Structure 1
C-alpha cells in the first residue's frame, strides 16, 4: 500500500497550481487529467494482477504525484530535467527523495537500470521538436518493463507536427500517429481532457504500426476499436485548421511587423538546439574515440608508485563537501570548473580551495565509457564555460580530449601542472608534461600553466605567469587565536621520500630544545643509536578536518623539502595561524614579505639550519604571538590577492 502524500504547494508549485485553478476551466482540466490517469493505472493493475511501478516524466513540483501516490499498490517515481523544479518534491516528500525522484538531461541515464509498468507525461512533450518525437518515443520505450505502457496526455492530434506558441512559448503540436515508431500500438483517446488528447502506446512485437480508438479511460486497451491512420489524419484536420487560422492572424496586421524578428529568434533557437543535439550525438558515439585514445598509451616502468587506497573510488564526484567546504567564494568564477583526482591529496586540496565548481575523478583505475560519458554530461549541464584540469594521468587525458570533441569551442579547457622539472627523472612525469604541451598545440587545451615559477622557459606554449595556490577559506572561529600557551609540539605532515626531506625535518626537531613532542604521518625506520630524546607520535593518515585539528595543537609545522611547489601544508597552516618552515619557493615579490622571509630557508638539507629556523619561529610565537599572527594575516591577504589576479589572467588567456 503506497503511503498517501500531501499536495505539495511550496512557492514555485503553488504558483503553478493557483494559476491552473484560477477559473473553473482550469479546475475541470486538472480533475479530468486525474480521473483519466488514475483509471488507466487501475486498469493496468487489474490487467497485470499485481502492484505497479509508475514513472512520471516532467514531474516538476509533484502535482500528479499527489494523487498517484494515494493509489493502492502503486509505487510512484518522478523524473524531471530540472533539479530546481523537483527540489520541493524531494524536500517535502521524504519517502520519495531517497531513490524515487530523478533529474538530469536524459531520463534513461537518470533512472539507471530501473524499469516501469507505466510511464506517463502530461503536457511535457510540447517542448520537444517535432522531428525528435519518434526517436524520443523509442528511448522512452526502453524505460518500460516487457509488458509496460506509455501514457501521454498531450496536444490534440494533428496531421503534421507544427510549432505553436498560442498556449506555451516555443511549444509544439505533435502528429503522434504519424510519428509512432514501427512495432508499436497507439490507442488514441480524444475528448477525455479539455484541450488535450490521451495516447496509450505499447510495443506489439511485430512489424508495422497499429491504431485503435480508446473510447474511455475505463475501457481496457484490448477492447479498443481498430482505426486506420487515414481516419486519424481526417480526425486531426479540424485541429490543424484551427492552428492555421491562429497562425494566419499572428502574421497579419500589427503582428506582421515582428514576423522577421520572430523568424530570427526561432533561427537562433534552432541553431542552439541543433548544436546541443550534435553534442549529445558526439557523447553517444565516443566509443571509437576512446578506443583510439587508449590504444596510444605508453607504459613507463620507472614511474613512481602512487598511494593505492584500500577500496575502489567512485569514477567521479561533483562538488563533494571535501572540495567545497573551504573553497573561496567569488561569483565571477561561478562558471569555472576544476577537474582533479580524488586520490592526489595535495593537488585535490589546491583545486578545492580555488573558487568555482569541483569535479573529482579517479586515477586509481581506468574510467569506463559509461563513467566518462556521465562526467562529460555533468560538465555540459553545469553551465560552466571554463574547465581547469589539475595535473595529468591517462584518465585526465581521456577526459580532456573527449570533452573537447564533445563540447567543441563552447568551453575553454585549461591545464595546470602542479609538478617541477626536478621530478622529470621519472620518465612518466616528463612524458606527462610533454603531453600537456602537445595537447595545447593540437587545440585540446586553450592554455597550460604551472605552479612552479619559470616553467614557461621549457616551452613557449606554457603560460608565463605562475599560478598561485590559495589558502583554505576559514571562519574566525576556525582559526587559532593568538595565545602565549605553548604546546612544545611539532608536526611533520610529509611523506618519507627524497623530495620531502623527511629525516632532516625529524632530526631538526630532535635537536631543538623547544620541542618535546613530534607528530609524524609517515612510516620510517630509526636505528636505536640515532633515536633522540623527543617523543615521536605516529598519526595514521588523517582526514582534512583531522589534519586541521592536528595543526592547531602544534607550535610549528615542518616542511623543509628539497623541491617544492607551493606546499598546501604551508597554506593550511597559514590560515590556521601556525607557522610552517619550508624551502625556497621563488615566488618573486611574495618572497620579500616579512613572513615569507621568516619561514623560507635555503639550507633545507642541513639539520643545523633547519633547527635554527625552528628555534627562531617557536621563540617568536612564544614572546610575540600577536605580532606573528598579524604578519601571517597580512601575508594571507597578499597571497590571496595575487592568486586571484593570476587566476583571472589565466582563465582569460
Structure 2
C-alpha cells in the first residue's frame, strides 16, 4: 500500500479513538492525499508533475485555508490536513509522520498545535528537516493578534533551530527576517497548470471577483469598477450580497453572489470566466492570480505582489497601481479587453516558465 494511503487509513483509525479536532471542523477534515489526485479538485489536466527530488516530503496545512491549501498542494509531496490539535493529537500526528519515514516536513501557516508538533518531531528525530512556509504580508499579520502571534512563533522556532528554515511567499519579507538573524528564503507558489481552450472576449464576458468582506480585499471597489466598465454580461462575487452597494435594478441583475461554492465549483467558474479580479490592498503571492493563469483567465490585481516581476509587459497590463481608485481599475479592464488575444498568449508562456522557476526554487529551498 502506498505511503500516503497508509497514512490516511491510520489517521482515520486514530480519529475513531480520540477526538483530534473541534466538532465544527470534523466535517472538513481531509487526510493525506497524493499530489497526483488533485485533478479531482482542479479539473482534468492538472500538471503538478515535477516532484521534488532528494526529499521525502509531507506538506501540512489547515484544511479550511483555501489559498494556503492551494499553494501547499503544489509543493510536490504528500499532504496532511491538520486543524486544531490536542496534545494527544499532536502525539498521534508525530507518530504518523515518523512511522511513514518522511525526511522533510513543510508547515504551511502555523495553526494551533503546529509548534508542539514541530518540537516533538525534532526531539524524537533530530535529523528530520522542518520548514515553515509563511503565506502572508505584514499587513495581514497585523489584522489580528493571532496573526502576529503565529508569525512570532514561527520565527522563534527557526531561531531555536527547531525549524531549519522559513520560506516567505511575500517578496522582501525574507530579507527583513534575515536581517534580524532568522534563516529565511523567498519561496514561490507554483502554477496548477491546466489544459484549457483559448478564450475570446465577447458580449457574454464573465467577471469573477473571489474577494471577501475584509477591508483589505477591496471588494466594493472592484464590483463598482466591473459594473462601470460595461464590459461584462455577468459579474460573479464569491461572497454574500453586499447591502451597501447603491445600485439600480439593471445593475443588480448583472451581479451574482455565490458564497459557499466548493473548490471544484470555484475552479469551474474560474475556467468559464473572461477576467478575474484580485485588486486588493495588500497581498503576499495570491493563488487567485496563479489559478487564473492556470485556467487561461487573466487576473487583474493590485501592484502589491511579485508574481510578474520577471515580465514587464504583464506587470504593465495586469497590475493596478492605485488599488482603491475605481477609475484606475476600469482603465485596467479596458486595456486588457483591447489586448486580450496577445495577453492570453503571453500568459500561457509565462505560466510554464514561472512554474518551472517556482519548482526549482522550492527544491533548492528544501535541500539547502
- TM tier relative to shorter chain: 0.7 to 0.9
For the pair 1:543 / 2:257, whether they are aligned, the reply is: no
Aligned residue among 187, 190, 193 for 1:467: 187
Alpha carbons 2:190, 2:358 under 8 Å: kept: yes
Q: Provide the C-alpha distance between the structure 2 equivalents of 1:103 and 1:441, rounded to a whole number of angstroms.
A: 34
- Give, in angstroms, the shift of residue 510 of structure 1: 1.3
Aligned residue among 507, 518, 521 for 2:238: 521
1:499 alignment partner, SS class? helix
Alpha carbons 1:338, 1:358 under 8 Å: kept: yes
Aligned residue among 320, 338, 357 for 1:601: 320
Paired position in structure 1 for 2:43: none
Paired position in structure 2 for 1:349: 70
- Give, in angstroms, the shift of residue 451 of structure 1: 0.5
Paired position in structure 1 for 2:219: 502
Paired position in structure 1 for 2:109: 391
Q: Provide the C-alpha distance between the structure 2 equivalents of 1:313 and 1:408, rounded to a whole number of angstroms.
A: 34
How high is the TM-score relative to the length of structure 2?
Answer: 0.84
Alpha carbons 2:208, 2:235 under 8 Å: kept: yes
Q: Provide the C-alpha distance between the structure 1 equivalents of 2:285 and 2:331, rounded to a whole number of angstroms.
A: 22
Q: Provide the C-alpha distance between the structure 2 equivalents of 1:405 and 1:327, rounded to a whole number of angstroms.
A: 36
Alpha carbons 1:492, 1:519 under 8 Å: kept: yes
For the pair 1:570 / 2:302, whether they are aligned, the reply is: no
CA root-mean-square deviation: 3.1
Alpha carbons 2:131, 2:164 under 8 Å: kept: yes
Paired position in structure 1 for 2:359: 644
How high is the TM-score relative to the length of structure 1?
Answer: 0.49
For the pair 1:454 / 2:168, whether they are aligned, the reply is: no
- Give, in angstroms, the shift of residue 412 of structure 1: 0.2
Matched residues, number: 349
- Give, in angstroms, the shift of residue 531 of structure 1: 4.4
- Give, in angstroms, the shift of residue 525 of structure 1: 2.9
Distance verdict in 2 for CA 1:592–1:464, change over 3 Å:
farther
- Give, in angstroms, the shift of residue 471 of structure 1: 1.3
In terms of mean alpha carbon deviation, does 642-651 or 503-512 score higher? Answer: 642-651
- Higher relative contact order at CA 8 Å, sep ≥6: structure 1 or structure 2? 2
Distance verdict in 2 for CA 1:589–1:647, change over 3 Å:
same
Paired position in structure 1 for 2:204: 487
Aligned residue among 378, 398, 423 for 2:140: 423
Distance verdict in 2 for CA 1:620–1:430, change over 3 Å:
same
Paired position in structure 2 for 1:359: 80
2:107 alignment partner, SS class? strand
Alpha carbons 1:339, 1:360 under 8 Å: kept: yes
For the pair 1:437 / 2:158, whether they are aligned, the reply is: no
Alpha carbons 1:315, 1:367 under 8 Å: kept: no
Structure with larger Rg: 1
- Give, in angstroms, the shift of residue 396 of structure 1: 1.6
- Give, in angstroms, the shift of residue 439 of structure 1: 0.6
Alpha carbons 1:487, 1:554 under 8 Å: kept: no
Q: Deviations over 1:127-174 (max 9, x none)?
A: xxxxxxxxxxxxxxxxxxxxxxxxxxxxxxxxxxxxxxxxxxxxxxxx
Aligned residue among 338, 344, 352 for 1:619: 338
Structure 2 unaligned regions, length at least 5: 40-45
Alpha carbons 2:308, 2:314 under 8 Å: kept: no
Q: Provide the C-alpha distance between the structure 1 equivalents of 2:23 and 2:281, rounded to a whole number of angstroms.
A: 26
Q: Provide the C-alpha distance between the structure 2 equivalents of 1:507 and 1:529, rounded to a whole number of angstroms.
A: 10
Aligned residue among 624, 632, 635 for 2:347: 632
Structure 1 unaligned regions, length at least 5: 1-82, 86-101, 115-307
